[in-house]
């Protein structure tokens, strides 16, 4: 556990970046520090590995006051990941990852072999080992940064906006991979971001800081969204926090059977099976996209499919379910099994009904049908107009 006890940092010149901060980051969990620019997140993080010394107060790791430890020894037990990966440009990827093990005296071939293993661990091919950082994409560099921090297998990791220099799609991927990795590794992580969405996605608990380095609230993501401590936190977590909170609610979703066609089927069959002008096209039970009745041609072809609707996983969150319905051109969100096979579809209205039922604690919604043929649809109007 990392513990801050009444920690204050005043820089020469008089700026108090962190003021009387007390908080605990539990062992094996991700604690996120989030807050507006200049609220003291980076200063707080860098005081843990003593790149910055506190003006007063103590920081301890597993009960040991860090001020009593030799900074070099302290840092060996702490992985540190920063924006852009912070890689040495003139060193190969494997040399970058092996930096700390080599410093600690591990022989080169062992350190490089481990570096290549770590590359795979963070989702990169070993073939990148001999390249230089400039020959990698931003997302790949970030992954290497994580691999480098993991190389000495430190129990504690400090991560300062590690995913903020990449585009939103890559960022979402990196977050998901990072969470998978953490499920295996169980490190004690202190993670800094200014992005509340990232904080609630990654944090087991989230500390919201306000400018001046004051802790405004420390809570689990769902608690933070449901019960912001004050106007500042409410404002910071945002106006759509009710929608975000759906990320934490798993629902038993009332998916209904959805008739399907395959690529190559006739436009006539598609028209017969369509509901409100749209029919779902699948391949071996996997959803491919939606086909609009009245599309040119007499066959369903892959080029004519409307793509872009998100998929909701069976047993997933209500946010994902609602998003799938809102993003589907047919208005029917596609629910899939863990294997990616079609489980059924649902409308936004059906998701809202589940939300309402959960809110009022009334009876549970009907379960997802495992067998799409088991349940007839509520509405069926073949040949309807395309939207």
Ligand X SMILES: Nc1ncnc2c1ncn2[C@@H]1O[C@H](COP(=O)(O)OP(=O)(O)OP(=O)(O)O)[C@@H](O)[C@H]1O
- Site size with ligand X, rule: CB under 6 A: 13
Are 203 and 171 contacting, i.e. CB atoms less than 8 angstroms apart?
Answer: no
Q: Which of 94, 154, 105, 181 is nearest to 129 (CA)?
A: 94
Q: Which of 150, 155, 33, 162 is nearest to 86 (CA)?
A: 162
CA distance 50 to 54: 8
Are 58 and 7 contacting, i.e. CB atoms less than 8 angstroms apart?
Answer: yes
CA distance 285 to 262: 9
CA distance 11 to 55: 8
User: Which member of 23, 34, 41, 355 binds ligand X (CB under 6 A)?
Assistant: 41
- Binding range to ligand X, per CB under 6 A, among 38-46, 77-85, 247-255, 370-378: 38-46
User: Which member of 23, 30, 40, 206 binds ligand X (CB under 6 A)?
Assistant: 40
- Which residues in 8-37 contact ligand X (CB under 6 A)? 11, 13, 15, 17, 35, 37
User: Which member of 8, 27, 38, 337 binds ligand X (CB under 6 A)?
Assistant: 38
Q: Which is nearer to ligand X, 149 or 207 (CB)?
A: 207
50 binds ligand X (CB under 6 A): no
Q: Which is nearer to ligand X, 51 or 185 (CB)?
A: 51
User: Which member of 21, 23, 42, 49 binds ligand X (CB under 6 A)?
Assistant: 42
User: Can you state the angle between helices 138-150 and 108-121, rounded to 10 degrees?
Assistant: 130
141 binds ligand X (CB under 6 A): no
Are 300 and 262 contacting, i.e. CB atoms less than 8 angstroms apart?
Answer: yes
Q: Which is nearer to ligand X, 37 or 68 (CB)?
A: 37
CA distance 94 to 294: 56
Q: Which is nearer to ligand X, 140 or 201 (CB)?
A: 201
Q: Which is nearer to ligand X, 17 or 335 (CB)?
A: 17
Q: Which is nearer to ligand X, 214 or 341 (CB)?
A: 214
- Which residues in 169-198 contact ligand X (CB under 6 A)? 194
CB atoms inside a 10 Å sphere around CB 73:
8
Task: Tell the burial category of 171 from Cβ atoms under 10 Å away from its Cβ (0-12, 13-18, 19+).
Answer: buried
210 binds ligand X (CB under 6 A): no
Residue 53-92 contact track with ligand X, rule CB under 6 A, x = bound:
----------------------------------------
Element (H, E) at 3: strand 2-10
158 binds ligand X (CB under 6 A): no
43 binds ligand X (CB under 6 A): yes
User: What is the phi-psi region of residue 266: left when phi exceeds 0, alpha when psi lies from -120 to 50, beta otherwise?
Assistant: beta
User: Which member of 2, 21, 34, 39 binds ligand X (CB under 6 A)?
Assistant: 39
Binding region for ligand X (CB under 6 A): 11, 13, 15, 17, 35, 37-43, 194
């Amino acid at each position: 556990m990392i513990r801050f006890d009444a920690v204050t940092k005043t820089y020469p010149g008089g700026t108090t970046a962190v003021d009387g901060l007390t908080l605990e980051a539990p062992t094996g969990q991700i604690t996120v520090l989030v807050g507006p620019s200049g609220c003291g997140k980076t200063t707080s993080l860098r005081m843990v590995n003593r790149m910055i010394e506190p003006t007063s107060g103590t920081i301890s790791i597993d009960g040991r006051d860090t001020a009593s430890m030799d900074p070099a020894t302290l840092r060996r037990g702490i992985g540190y990941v920063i924006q852009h990966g912070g890689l040495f440009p003139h060193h190969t990827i494997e040399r970058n990852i092996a930096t700390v093990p080599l410093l600690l005296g591990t022989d080169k071939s062992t350190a490089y072999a481990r570096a290549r293993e770590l590359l795979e661990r963070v989702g990169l091919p070993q073939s990148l080992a001999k390249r230089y950082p400039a020959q990698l994409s931003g997302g790949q560099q970030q992954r290497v940064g994580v691999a480098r921090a993991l190389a000495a297998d430190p129990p504690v990791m400090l991560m300062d906006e590690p995913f903020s220099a990449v585009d939103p799609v890559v960022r979402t991927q990196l977050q998901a991979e990072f969470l998978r990795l953490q499920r295996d590794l169980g490190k004690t992580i202190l993670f800094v971001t200014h992005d509340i969405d990232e904080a609630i996605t990654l944090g087991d608990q989230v500390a919201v800081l306000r400018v001046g380095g004051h802790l405004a609230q420390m809570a689990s993501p769902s608690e933070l969204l449901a019960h912001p401590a004050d106007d500042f936190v409410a404002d910071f977590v945002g106006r759509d926090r009710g929608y975000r909170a759906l990320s934490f609610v798993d629902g038993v979703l009332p998916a209904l059977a959805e008739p399907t066609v395959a690529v190559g089927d006739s436009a006539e069959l598609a028209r017969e099976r369509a509901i409100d002008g749209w029919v779902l096209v699948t391949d071996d039970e996997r959803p491919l996209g939606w086909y609009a009745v009245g599309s040119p041609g007499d066959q369903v072809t892959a080029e004519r499919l409307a793509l872009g609707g998100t998929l909701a996983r069976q047993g997933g969150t209500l946010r994902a379910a609602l998003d799938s319905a809102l993003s589907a051109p047919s208005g029917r969100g596609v629910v899939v099994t863990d294997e990616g096979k079609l489980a059924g579809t649902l409308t936004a209205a059906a998701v809202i009904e589940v939300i309402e039922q959960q809110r009022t604690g009334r009876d549970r919604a009907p379960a997802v049908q495992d067998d799409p043929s088991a349940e007839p649809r509520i509405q069926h109007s073949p040949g309807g107009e395309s939207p």
